[in-house]
Structure 1
Amino acid sequence: MPILEPTYKPPFQFKNGFMATVYSGLVRKVNLKQERERIETRDKDFLDLDWSFASKPSHSVIILLHGLEGHAQRPYVTGVAKLFNQNGIDAVCVNFRGCSGEDNRFYRSYHSGATDDLDDVVQHCIQQKGYANIYIKGVSLGGNITLKYLGEGRAVPKEIKAAIAVSVPVFLDGSASELHKMKNRAFATRFRKHLLDKLRVKMKHFPEKLNEKAIASIKTLREFDEFYTAKAHGFKDAADYYEQSSSLQFLKNIEVPTLIINALNDSFLSSECYPVKAAKHNDNLYLEMPKYGGHVGFIQMNNIYYNEKRAWEFVNTHKNSFLVE
């Protein structure tokens, strides 16, 4: 599919990717009423889902996936939910394992390639909730999960009609390298602190696997993935985790209309995270690369972000041929 021409024009002060990223992560506010539901996963863990609804009963829902150490109340999640609710579509904001304010039951938690939990949510929306039209929007880590889910070879339910992935590190090793550079030191330090805090919570339940000395020795995000993510989730090491979980290799298989929006000034992304070749060779894959936007920082003055508006436009453009009323 041809590469899409972006129309994003940010306010002048937010042409700086760092400023756009920080403002969007720490300053932006979105008011949204949500209702929590807990579901059981196929392996007997749990997921907390935060729902918001259109003003009238709807046959359509958008599943929203957050990024690393995010949750379902982050503005980049609730902003999308609110916009879709206003346009007649329900929204379910997924909290990945351990991200809803309560630790999950097992030593394993979530990671960039863990797609079974997304499939459990999709099946819940179909079988228990009766939705006929499902859209998925993932941000950053959640975007990688979205793309991998759609292209890794499972039977994708016919109810899934379109997907959007934003600021997505489709090549995890390259993104990990970018995060370890000086330009991203503040972000990497923040991520590391949150991740280690969660390990300390897990230590109380799994003292045979974790201790303070080992946790304190983790100095980088890659070391965290080497020490915890890889071992807890069945990978040989961090390199194996990055290789198996990167969605780049699966893009060629995606058969659902899918939009990727990655800003060219996103400091978290390596050059491989702009999959031009894959988009040109897959009629279902659309790639948009705005000059500005940072990492999930596509700011517009009305508090509806450009990527959120584009998500609605993309769904609205493609839904008429398959929408079930």
Structure 2
Amino acid sequence: MPLIESGFRSPWWMFNGDLQTQLPVLLRHIRLDASSLIIPTLDGDNLSANMYLSGLQPQKRLLILSHGLEGSNAQNYILGMAEAALESGVAGAAVDVLAWNLRGCGKPDNTTEKLYFAGSIQDFEAVVAWAEGNGYTEIYLAAYSLGGNIVLKWLGDQGENAQARGIKAVCAASVPIDLHACVSTLDRWRNLMYRLYFVTSMKWRLKRKAFKFTGKLDLSHYSKVKKFCDYDDFFSAPLNGYKNAAELHAAASAKPSLEKIAVPCLMVAALNDPFLNADCIPLALAQRHSLLTLEITRSGGHVGFLSDRLEWWLDTRFLGFFKSLS
């Protein structure tokens, strides 16, 4: 499909990608009442999730929301999208909303020592299987950052089977579809602040698991982890069956799988996203893939996208894409 050069504009006082990434986290505060649930995984663990019901029962339409790195289903961009979908519906009809947590994120915690990683597609498979088992026949997906990589890789691996399982469309924003490129970008000195925040958070999450599950996790390399690539080399890769970070990044990146996506897909990417570089913006593929719409904004940061009208643009854009397909 044609590339879309977006008309989105950030407020003038958010004059770079860092402010456009960080200030929305501080400025947006949403509370929604939810019912919590547990989704079993095939390996005997569980995923926690929150369910938001439209109030119209029984409902066959579901929107699944997937959060990003070191986040949870309590992130305000997740709650904002849930609130907007409940108010406006999806593709012209009422919808229930499911916001799930990657392993080790949110509350309650999962019941094993396992933690999420960028290729956790088996966990997303469990979420979709839960939706199918609970009678949802029309499923829409909205995913952000790392959650977007997981969802897009799962969709590519599913191919045309995704349609048969009721997947109608997907919207994804700020997605690190090339994990090597993303990690290399985040490990630069320019991004030291992000690296310190996220790597420290990941290390503390890992240490809490190690204390809780004595003998299950080897922390002998813990002090060597200074960068994202270190974390993947010493922990994410061996814990998930890969020999090193390079092998994990190659296997878990969504980019090679995008070609096989067989449902309508909107990808939104900001040129000033401090987490990503040009390798995460699939220009050539979008020009030849009939189901992939790539919208490139000049500003917006990483999952920020507060507009110059002080509106949360991603919610409106995602819902508009879903409606355009109805």
TM-score (norm: length of structure 1)? 0.93
Query: Residues 240-283 of structure 1: CA distance to partner in whole angstroms, max 9, x if unpaired?
Result: 00000111101111110000001010011121111011111110
What's the CA shift for 1:47?
Answer: 0.6
RMSD across aligned positions (CA): 1.7
1:274 and 2:281 correspond: yes
Matched to 1:97, the amino acid is R
Return closer, same or farther for 1:54/1:153 CA change in 2, 3 Å cut-off: closer
The range that moved more, 183-192 or 145-154, is 145-154
What's the CA shift for 1:304?
Answer: 4.6
Paired-residue identity, %: 32
Matched to 1:65, the amino acid is S
Query: Residues 53-103 of structure 1: CA distance to partner in whole angstroms, max 9, x if unpaired?
Result: 224333211100000110001011111111001122211111111102344
SS in 1 for 2:13: helix
SS in 1 for 2:64: strand
Asked whether the 8 Å contact 1:199–1:215 carries over to 2, the reply is: no
What residue is the counterpart of 2:91 in the other structure? none
SS in 1 for 2:49: strand
Q: Which runs of 5+ in 2 are unaligned?
A: 89-93
SS in 2 for 1:289: strand
Asked whether the 8 Å contact 1:252–1:281 carries over to 2, the reply is: no
Query: 1-side partners of 2:307 and 2:287: how far apart?
Result: 29
Asked whether the 8 Å contact 1:175–1:270 carries over to 2, the reply is: yes
The range that moved more, 138-147 or 94-103, is 94-103
Q: Which runs of 5+ in 1 are unaligned?
A: 321-325
Asked whether the 8 Å contact 2:35–2:51 carries over to 1, the reply is: yes
What's the CA shift for 1:123?
Answer: 1.5
Query: 2-side partners of 1:213 and 1:119: how far apart?
Result: 32
Query: Residues 23-67 of structure 1: CA distance to partner in whole angstroms, max 9, x if unpaired?
Result: 122332122211110121111100111111224333211100000
Asked whether the 8 Å contact 1:66–1:140 carries over to 2, the reply is: yes
What residue is the counterpart of 1:25 in the other structure? 25
Asked whether the 8 Å contact 2:11–2:309 carries over to 1, the reply is: no
The range that moved more, 131-140 or 5-14, is 5-14
Residue correspondences, number: 318
1:7 and 2:12 correspond: no
Return closer, same or farther for 1:302/1:48 CA change in 2, 3 Å cut-off: farther
SS in 1 for 2:10: coil
Return closer, same or farther for 1:122/1:302 CA change in 2, 3 Å cut-off: farther
What's the CA shift for 1:9?
Answer: 1.8
1:132 and 2:129 correspond: no
What residue is the counterpart of 1:218 in the other structure? 225
1:95 and 2:95 correspond: no
Query: 2-side partners of 1:109 and 1:302: how far apart?
Result: 39
The range that moved more, 237-246 or 117-126, is 117-126
Find the partner of 1:292 among 275, 279, 299: 299
What residue is the counterpart of 1:323 in the other structure? none
The range that moved more, 202-211 or 285-294, is 202-211
Asked whether the 8 Å contact 1:14–1:299 carries over to 2, the reply is: no
Matched to 1:60, the amino acid is R
Query: 2-side partners of 1:177 and 1:31: how far apart?
Result: 35
